[in-house]
Amino acid sequence: MAQRWTDDMSLSRRAMKAEFLDAETELKLAYAWRDERDEAALHRLITAYMRLAISMAAKFRRYGAPMNDLIQEAGLGLMKAAEKFDPDRGVRFSTYAVWWIKASVQDYVMRNWSMVRTGSTSSQKSLFFNMRRVQAKLEREAATQGEVLDRHQLHQMIATEVGVPLRDVEMMEGRLAGSDFSLNAVQSADEDGREWIDTLEDDSAQSAELVEDRHDTARLRDWLVVALQALNARERLIVRERKLREDPRTLESLGNELGLSKERVRQLEVVAFQKMRKTLEAQSREVQHFLV
């Protein structure tokens, strides 16, 4: 155990001393790994963002897993992110890696906590990592209004808050029941004692992540608008109705509106996508030229 703790601290110290990559260097390393399989570039990219992996792994210590194991899983998620990352999309690697790291650590926790080994659907995962926090918040809000929620009301409100079926909430409640302490219990008898819920880290996106996500989303939206402008009116109609609607229209429906056969609409759709791809690739080259 002492050796593992020492290894853990050593890895953390090395990660904290790693370089910070600017966007230009990060992009060059990503291209070197993707196009040339340059292992030195991969190692440099992984090392630079290991501090991010360790920081995210630390958020899951409260689930009882050894920190060293959490860091290893976070590192695996970081490596998966590097393997699948596409630098042509114009998104920062750190933004992309966050989701792979979090998914890898969450899957490890779900696999190794005996109470939840029977299932790990997205609904169950969301409940496992958020149910107690959401429950405490709802109970606290009800208490401020002088209300007392019965078990069924509370379960329904949790289901709505987390966005999962009621039956999943009831099932997870049974799995998490037992020796858990109330998250609203205070840590000490002092009047200023904090509730246990106050010690839990918020799993929601942090400010830096939100800023990066909004920046990347805005950039992708702008690129899409430019690509659509390269199409003629009929091509834009086909792309919009086929790919940008919640309920996409059929080739036959569009053919009837435009007075064309289904096959002709399909051909126009293919041509439109080819034009959009060329426009997006041209924009990508312009960005790369600007960075260089």
pLDDT, tens digit (0-9, with 9 covering 90-100), for 127-173: 777 787 888 888 888 888 888 888 888 888 888 888 888 888 877 77
Whether pLDDT at 252 is above 80:
yes
- Amino acid 144: pLDDT: 85
Q: Which of 90-94, 204-208, 226-230 has the lowest mean pLDDT?
A: 204-208
Whether pLDDT at 32 is above 90:
yes
Could you tell me which residue, 206 or 110, shows the higher pLDDT?
Answer: 110
Could you tell me which residue, 126 or 232, shows the higher pLDDT?
Answer: 232
Predicted confidence band at 177 (pLDDT cuts at 50, 70, 90)? low
pLDDT, tens digit (0-9, with 9 covering 90-100), for 48-95: 999 889 888 888 887 777 888 888 899 899 999 999 898 888 888 988
Q: What's the predicted TM-score (pTM) here?
A: 0.46
Question: Over pLDDT 90: what percentage of the chain?
Answer: 13
Predicted confidence band at 7 (pLDDT cuts at 50, 70, 90)? very low
Q: What architecture is domain 2-112?
A: Up-down Bundle (1.20)
pLDDT, tens digit (0-9, with 9 covering 90-100), for 101-129: 988 888 888 777 644 444 456 667 777 77
* Domain 207-291, CATH class in plain words: mainly alpha
- Amino acid 4: pLDDT: 42
Three-class secondary structure assignment of the chain: CHHHHHHHHHHHHHHHCCCCCCHHHHHHHHHHHHHHCCHHHHHHHHHHCHHHHHHHHHCCHHHCCCHHHHHHHHHHHHHHHHHHCCHHHCCCHHHHHHHHHHHHHHHHHHHHCHHHCCCCCHHHHHHHHHHHHHHHHHHHHHHHCCCCCCHHHHHHHHHHHHCCCHHHHHHHHHHHCCCCCCCCCECCCCCCCCEHHHHCCCCCCCHHHHHHHHHHHHHHHHHHHHHHHCCCHHHHHHHHHHHCCCCCCCHHHHHHHHCCCHHHHHHHHHHHHHHHHHHHHHHHHHHHHHHC
Domain positions in the chain are 2-112, 117-199, 207-291
